[in-house]
């Protein structure tokens, strides 16, 4: 028997034979998210679908807005199946059940990836429509509840799920051109593998995973799925992660929305690697990193759609053409230079500092200053500015001799010539139609909850280090932290900021930065 050629979902006239088409031009369009035909999946008789129990969890029952349909998830067994393993099924009932079932199936059928629900079979009988998926599913909350005994375990699982979601998002963008986080979806866990399984169908109930997963781009930890953690998950995690790995996970969980309304003058200086409590103004330094190292991102054009670097000249200044920074499609772009510090030295010896200061609780009130942002904003009218260039001073102009950072008096200027040899002063530039410039310097502080420090303490201890010493920092070659010489222990009892003030200054959509006037 001759082998039949392989066909693909969405192929033009797939599996059709013995006909002729004439009199026109035809194009076969293939889309990964177009459903295969019903024969691509098992047709399961309704009587063979053995419902074991409804899968409970936040939002697991869905009513599609504007339609009369009810969608429930069940753990099921298929009668006479060769395997005793349970599967899962989404069942649709109601007036619009068939339309919603068919639409969801079209989405499911175009996706085949370990981090998404995978269709096993279909049920269509007597007004009941069901899609059966491979494996039994559990809600995320159940997974975390099972492993809730240790901060180390919950920290590990937290980032394991984010890593899985990031992989799922990459795949989804490749096949659809869309970011998964912008879609309506429900995350599940496959019971047999412990892997994330995303329900991406339009009728699926919605439970979002935190968008912070972008931080994972810089983390190379190789995660073990939960079933492989065994009866002592903490021991398995500690054996599989290095000190640097665990510090990375703790760092990624930092709270970056501790913002401060500090207005900077040109003579004021900011020290990175600084520990304080509460409000930033008029608060003495508690501790500091002795020899902090910095990473400096050069001047970049920052807009809603892209980030592009400028051209660095031989004298260290950075040049942007006005046509590059003020485009018709994105007239609201700005320029930014970011300086940030490695937070891992602090994480490695925070418990040492807290122990010296006799601080045993409310650790989230203690903030580490580890980032300074410099921004150039443009203000221009309706007229088109003349052709020209903006020149931005080198990073060395922002750093003082003692390693602190400040706001230089003249960070930028306009010029007509490409080399900037003939700077225009502010009045000249504005008179000629160049946008006026506003320069801002912002500071970002990060803090961690007490549970994060408890997890670090346990991890260090079980790795064989004294958790309330600087042994780990010395072992890893990190710069050491010290207590400020003029700090008094009673400072730890200063009244903390009120919850109301925190709510007023921190919004749910705040990004990993704050520009301060």
Q: Answer with the residue of higher pLDDT: 205 or 99.
A: 99
Give me the domain span that covers residue 101: 38-135
Q: Is 13 inside any structural domain?
A: no
Q: What's the pLDDT at 11? A: 41
Residues 345 and 460 in one domain: yes
Find the CATH number of the domain harbouring 61.
Answer: 3.30.200.20
Distance (Å, whole) CA 167 – CA 161: 10
Q: Are residues 240 and 259 in the same domain?
A: no
pLDDT in tens, 430-452: 899 898 888 888 888 888 999 99
pTM, whole model, 2 decimals?
0.73
Residues 168 and 274 in one domain: no
| Last-in-domain residue among 135, 158, 174 | 135
Give the pLDDT band (50/70/90) at residue 195. Answer: very high
pLDDT of residue 70: 84
Q: Are residues 379 and 454 in the same domain?
A: yes
Flag whether pLDDT at 217 surpasses 50.
yes
Among 168-172, 200-204, 231-235, the least confident range: 200-204
Same domain, 432 and 472: yes
The answer on 103 and 64 residing in a single domain is yes
261 shares a domain with 246: no
Residue 15 within a domain: no
Task: Judge if 222 and 364 occupy the same domain.
Answer: no
Cα diameter, the chain: 92
Domain boundary among 109, 135, 161: 135
- As given in the structure block, the two tokens for residue 338 are 């970011």
In a domain, 484, yes or no: yes
Residue 516 counted as domain residue = no
Residues 244 and 349 reside in one and the same domain: no
Residue 2 lies in a domain: no
What letter would DSSP give residue 453?
A: H
Output phi, psi for 290, to 5 deg. Answer: -65, -50
Q: What is the pLDDT of residue 443?
A: 85
Read off the tokens for 37: 């035909």
Whether residue 381 sits in one domain with residue 451:
yes
93-108 pLDDT, tens digit each: 888 889 999 999 998 8
Rounded to an integer, what distance in angstroms lies between the CA atom of residue 88 and that of residue 72?
10
Work out the average pLDDT over 7-30. 41
The pLDDT, as a whole number, for residue 281 is 53
E strand or H helix that includes residue 501: helix 499-505
389-392 sheet: strands from edge to edge: 311-312, 318-321, 389-392, 412-415
Residue 221 or 159, more confident: 159
So what's the pLDDT on residue 129?
93
Q: Percent of the chain at pLDDT above 70?
A: 75
User: What is the total count of domains within the chain?
Assistant: 3
Mean pLDDT of the chain: 78
Strand partners, 187: 198
Residue 246 has pLDDT above 80, yes or no: yes
Is 511 inside a domain boundary?
A: no
The model's pLDDT over 383-418, given as tens digits with 9 standing for 90+, comes to 788 999 999 999 888 888 777 888 888 899 999 999
Q: Is the pLDDT of residue 499 over 50?
A: no
Q: Is residue 292 part of a domain?
A: yes
pLDDT category at 158 given cuts 50, 70, 90 is confident
In a domain, 16, yes or no: no
Residue range 339-382, pLDDT digits in tens: 988 999 999 999 999 999 999 999 988 989 888 888 888 887 65
Are both 266 and 374 inside the same structural domain? yes
**What residue has token string 């309704």?**
46
Same domain membership, residue 235 and residue 147: yes
Which of 107, 135, 163 is at the close of a domain? 135
């Amino acid at each position: 028997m001759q082998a039949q050629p392989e066909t693909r979902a969405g192929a033009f006239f797939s599996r059709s034979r013995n006909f002729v088409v004439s009199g026109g031009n035809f194009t076969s369009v293939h889309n990964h998210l177009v459903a295969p035909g019903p024969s691509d999946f098992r047709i399961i008789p309704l009587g063979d679908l053995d419902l074991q129990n409804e899968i409970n969890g936040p939002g697991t029952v869905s009513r599609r807005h504007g339609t009369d349909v009810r969608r429930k998830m069940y753990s099921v067994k298929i009668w006479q199946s060769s395997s005793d393993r349970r599967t899962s099924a989404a069942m649709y009932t109601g007036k619009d059940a068939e339309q919603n079932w068919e639409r969801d199936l079209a989405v499911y059928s175009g996706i085949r990836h370990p981090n998404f629900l995978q269709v096993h079979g279909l049920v269509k009988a007597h007004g009941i429509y069901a899609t059966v998926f491979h494996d039994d599913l559990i809600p995320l909350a159940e997974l975390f509840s099972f492993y809730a005994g240790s901060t180390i375990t919950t920290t590990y699982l937290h980032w394991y799920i984010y890593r899985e979601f990031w992989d799922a998002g990459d795949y989804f963008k490749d096949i659809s051109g869309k970011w998964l986080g912008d879609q309506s979806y429900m995350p599940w866990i496959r019971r047999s593998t412990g892997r994330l399984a995303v329900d991406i169908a339009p009728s699926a109930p919605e439970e979002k995973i935190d968008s912070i997963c972008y931080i994972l781009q810089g983390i190379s930890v190789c995660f073990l799925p939960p079933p492989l953690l065994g009866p002592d998950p903490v021991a398995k995690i500690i054996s599989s992660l290095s000190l640097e790995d665990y510090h990375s996970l703790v760092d990624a969980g930092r709270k970056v929305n501790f913002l401060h309304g500090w207005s900077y003058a040109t003579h004021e200086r900011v020290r990175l690697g600084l520990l304080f409590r509460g409000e930033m103004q008029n608060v003495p330094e508690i501790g500091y990193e002795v020899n902090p190292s910095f990473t400096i991102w050069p001047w970049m054009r920052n807009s809603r759609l892209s980030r592009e670097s400028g051209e660095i000249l031989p004298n260290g200044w950075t040049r942007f053409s006005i046509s590059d920074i003020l485009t018709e499609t994105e007239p609201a772009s700005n320029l930014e230079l970011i300086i940030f510090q490695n937070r891992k030295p602090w994480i490695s010896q925070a418990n040492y500092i807290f122990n010296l200061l006799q601080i045993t609780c409310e650790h989230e009130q203690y903030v580490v200053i580890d980032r300074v942002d410099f921004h150039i904003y443009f203000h221009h009218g309706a007229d088109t500015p003349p052709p020209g260039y903006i020149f931005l001073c080198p990073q060395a102009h922002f750093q003082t001799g003692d390693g602190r950072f400040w706001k230089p008096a003249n960070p930028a200027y306009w010029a007509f010539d490409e080399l900037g040899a003939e700077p225009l002063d502010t009045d000249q530039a504005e008179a000629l139609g160049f946008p006026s410039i506003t320069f801002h310097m912002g500071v970002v502080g990060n803090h961690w909850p007490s549970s994060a420090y408890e997890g670090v303490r346990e991890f260090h201890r079980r790795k064989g280090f004294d958790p309330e010493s600087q042994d780990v920092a010395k072992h890893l070659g990190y710069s050491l932290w010290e207590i400020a010489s003029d700090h008094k222990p009673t400072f730890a009892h200063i009244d903390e900021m009120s919850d109301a003030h925190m709510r007023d200054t921190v919004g749910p959509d705040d990004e990993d930065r704050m520009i301060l006037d």
